[in-house]
Amino acid sequence: MTILSFAAALALLSASGSALHDDPLTRPIPGNADWEKPQAPLKLHGDTYFVGTGGLSMVLIDSSDGLILIDGALPQTVAMTEASIRQLGFRVEDIRYILNTEAHYDHSGGLAALARDSGAEVITSPIGAAALRMGQADAHDPQASSVAAHPPVANARGIDDGESVRLGSAAVTAVFTPGHTPGSVSWTWKSCEGDACVNVVFASSLNAVASGGFTYRAHPDVTATLRASIDRMEALPCDLLISVHPDNSGGDVKIAALQAGATPNPFLDPSACRAYAERARGRLQARLDREAS
């Protein structure tokens, strides 16, 4: 399917969906228009596929014994995600686990609907799982005062740092990277295409963002936590990075290039996690400098 006909099919899909009934789990949460931009799905490497939108990353892993999905994007992009999964030839009903990076609605808003439609269990850190079950950010989240609520995720379960979610040939390991939210998790796994095996990292946001008078200067514990997560990201075995917001790591440019048939695969970049960490460190320092002046 071309990008154009994919977008047209999505428009039809959402028009017919909204005309038929009001689904509380896919009711739109207003945000950034870029987050809802249609994006045709594409293979990133081996068993790993991009099924996100133009502004929000989601990845599907084909374990040969069921599917693992990472992140849920927005309630209003669920139809788009499910269409992407089907377009790749997979079944939404075959998703066994949905992993989450953070309990902010732009990455968790679609989880409840996706879990309902697939029957999958949702897995993240214990702090993140508690926030998902409430449908709102953790009380200690730097953005707790402003971030929108989202449909609660009843079947969200917490796992330990370093624990792996195993399914068929896939083993996806939780790397806790708190700071942007107290429960943030990055995910890593080995993906093979023939003999070419690479370390994939799906990175949580490491952006220092706050609201409601929260300052990082007044919370040295949160600042230290975020710094440690940035250091951890920098040191991860990492050949292929997907950041939750693609444009935070040049992912938007890489997706366009990959779609245009670029070789070698623009996502294969062993310096990508280091660059992502460096960018986050710069943002944190800029914020601390602003808070001081």
- Answer whether the bond into residue 264 is a cis peptide, omega within 30°: yes
Q: In whole angstroms, give the CA distance from residue 233 to residue 138.
A: 22
Per-residue b or e along 115-134, where b marks 16 or more CB atoms closer than 10 Å to that residue's CB: bbbbebebbbbebbbbbbbb
Residue 180: CB minimum distance to Zn ion, A? 6
| Interacting positions 136-175 with Zn ion (CB under 5 A) | none
**Number of chain positions touching Zn ion (CB under 5 A):** 2
Q: Which is nearer to Zn ion, 77 or 205 (CB)?
A: 205
Instruction: List 253's β-bridge partners, or say none.
Output: none
Give the 3-state DSSP-derived string for 243-277, with helices as H, strands as E and coil as C.
ECCHHHCCHHHHHHHHHCCCCCCCCECCCHHHHHH
Tell me which stretch binds Zn ion (CB under 5 A): 22-30, 60-68, 101-109, 155-163: 101-109
Give the burial class of 43: count Cβ atoms within 10 A of its Cβ; 0-12 exposed, 13-18 middle, 19 or more buried.
middle
Q: Which is nearer to Zn ion, 81 or 205 (CB)?
A: 205
Tell me which stretch binds Zn ion (CB under 5 A): 96-104, 122-130, 158-166, 183-191: 96-104
Q: Which is nearer to Zn ion, 83 or 156 (CB)?
A: 156
Residue 102: CB minimum distance to Zn ion, A? 5
Residue 210: CB minimum distance to Zn ion, A? 11
Q: Which of 72, 75, 90, 104 binds Zn ion (CB under 5 A)?
A: 104
Q: Which single residue brings its beta carbon nearest to Zn ion?
A: 104
| Interacting positions 191-250 with Zn ion (CB under 5 A) | 205
Q: Which is nearer to Zn ion, 83 or 112 (CB)?
A: 112
Cβ-contact 216, 223 below 8 angstroms: yes
Interior angle at CA 40, CA 69 and CA 237, nearest 5 = 50
Q: Which is nearer to Zn ion, 104 or 150 (CB)?
A: 104
Q: Which is nearer to Zn ion, 6 or 105 (CB)?
A: 105
Residues that bind Zn ion (CB under 5 A): 104, 205
